[in-house]
């Protein structure tokens, strides 16, 4: 029994010792990049080979950002009134002039009716004033003719001085009466204009109770429900009025000098797996004191499935440096281990490496290769 127990323990430890010897686990249990000896069972060279080489590669800083509409309109009320109906929800497509929200208009209807009554009263006053002008004009003309006639009589000794003075007094009174009538008529004309302005203002205020879309677009947010009180300056809806988007990213202050208006920068939308080219449209000239970053707004091309609020990264060029690269199909992985097959002399060996970034169909090698080796591809 004792012998069988020892044999069982040995049978369990032997595969582990063999694996450790093959993978190169040494002191401390760490695997270092480098040669691990001839590949077990490899008798012939790979069917295809490639060269590890040194390339000049630019490094990039990825600034985190958010996709936002290029133009975003906040729909607000111009009057204080209770919300009656809201006809749209987030995601609804709307056209220019489409009614989005209706407000309680009873108070404004009463105000408009009162303004119209005031206009009718002003118009009636002007008619009366016009009639008064006509009457005063007739009286003036009659008094003027009587004065002229009496003056002629007085010159021919047919009328007395008293008759002349009486006719002149009547003429002066009629002239003053005509002037007063004309002034009253002018006053009623001004009153009508004022009443018309009141009616116009009441009509405009009533029109504010039907809130329409200023442009064709899509509803992003609904911030109000029927029964709520709409107040001037309080947002009711957020509307995207254009079909294009921008990536608004925060660039650290040490790199903002590398970004210029009109500059084309690559960006990635991780959710969609898209890599696109953006154009810098706006740089906010103010550094956030909390994050020490500048807000950069870059226009995105049309992308299917893109929505506001999605996460994106704007890539800012930092510097160029020489790095070792290999084809991506030369890399093999065993668990967390990364290895390549390298030709050394007349035989092939397995070499563990440490990789960095993926560069299209190439992979950056941080350790394990010098850049002039022949590697197998699979």
Domain of residue 229, residue span: 72-104+209-240
Q: Is residue 20 part of a domain?
A: no
- Say if 265 falls within a structural domain: yes
Comparison of pLDDT for 360 and 94, the residue scoring more? 94
Cα-Cα-Cα-Cα dihedral sign, residues 22, 26, 32, 34: negative
State residue 281's pLDDT score: 92
- Tokens (6 digits) for 351: 């070499």
- The structure's pTM equals 0.49
Q: How many domains does the chain have?
A: 3
Does residue 283 sit in the same domain as residue 378?
yes
Q: How far apart (Å, rounded) are the C-alpha atoms in residues 81 and 102?
A: 10
- Together in a domain, 284 and 361: yes
Quick one: tokens of 121?
């009263």
On whether residue 30 sits in a domain, the answer given is yes
In a domain, residue 1? The reply is no
Cα–Cα distance, 306 to 116 (Å, whole number): 52
- The CATH number covering residue 82 comes to 2.40.50.100
Mean pLDDT of 271-280: 91
Please report the DSSP string for 156-214 in residue order: TTSS-HHHHHHHHHHHHHHHHHHHHHHHHHHHHHHHHHHHHHHHHHHHHHHHTTEEE-S
Q: What is the pLDDT of residues 189-248, one digit of tens each?
A: 888 898 999 999 999 989 999 999 988 888 989 999 999 999 998 999 998 876 688 999
Q: Which single residue is written with the structure tokens 């975003």?
A: 72
* Extended strands (E) in 213-263: 217-222, 229-230, 235-240, 245-252
Residues 115 and 235 both lie in one domain? no
Task: State whether 159 and 278 are in the same domain.
Answer: no
pLDDT for 42-65, tens place per residue? 435 788 888 888 888 777 888 999
| Residue 243 confidence (pLDDT) | 67
Look at residue 242 in the predicted model and tell me its pLDDT: 66
């Amino acid at each position: 029994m004792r012998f069988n127990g020892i044999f069982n323990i040995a049978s369990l430890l032997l595969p582990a010792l063999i694996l450790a010897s093959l993978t190169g686990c040494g002191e401390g249990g760490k695997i270092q990049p480098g040669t691990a000896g001839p590949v077990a069972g490899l008798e012939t060279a790979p069917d295809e080979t490639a060269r590890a080489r040194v390339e000049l590669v630019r490094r990039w800083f990825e600034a985190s950002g958010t996709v936002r509409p290029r133009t975003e309109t906040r729909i607000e009320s111009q009057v204080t009134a209770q919300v009656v109906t809201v006809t749209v929800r987030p995601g609804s497509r709307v056209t220019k002039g489409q009614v989005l929200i209706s407000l309680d208009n009873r108070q404004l209807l009463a105000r408009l009716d009162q303004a119209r009554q005031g206009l009718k009263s002003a118009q009636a006053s002007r008619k009366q004033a016009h009639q008064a002008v006509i009457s005063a004009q007739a009286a003036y003309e009659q008094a003027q003719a009587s004065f002229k006639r009496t003056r002629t009589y007085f010159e021919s000794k047919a009328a007395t001085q008293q008759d002349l003075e009486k006719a002149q007094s009547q003429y002066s009174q009629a002239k003053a009466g005509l002037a007063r009538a004309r002034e009253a008529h002018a006053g009623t004309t001004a009153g009508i204009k004022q009443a018309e302005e009141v009616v116009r203002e009441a009509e405009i205020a009533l029109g504010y109770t039907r809130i329409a879309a200023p442009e064709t677009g899509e509803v992003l947010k609904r911030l109000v429900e029927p029964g709520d009180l709409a107040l001037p300056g309080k947002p009711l809806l957020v509307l995207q009025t254009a079909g294009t988007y921008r990536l608004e990213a925060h660039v650290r202050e040490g790199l903002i000098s590398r970004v210029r208006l009109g500059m084309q920068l690559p960006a990635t939308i991780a959710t969609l797996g898209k890599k696109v080219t953006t154009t810098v449209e706006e740089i906010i000239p103010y550094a956030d004191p909390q994050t020490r970053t500048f807000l950069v707004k870059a226009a995105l091309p049309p992308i299917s499935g893109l929505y506001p609020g999605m996460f994106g990264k704007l890539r800012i060029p930092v510097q160029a440096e020489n790095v070792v690269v290999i084809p991506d199909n030369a890399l093999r992985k065993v668990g967390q281990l990364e290895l390549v097959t390298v030709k050394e002399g007349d035989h092939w060996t397995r070499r563990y490496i440490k990789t960095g970034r993926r560069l299209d169909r190439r992979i950056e090698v941080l350790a394990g290769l010098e850049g002039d080796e022949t590697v197998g591809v699979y």
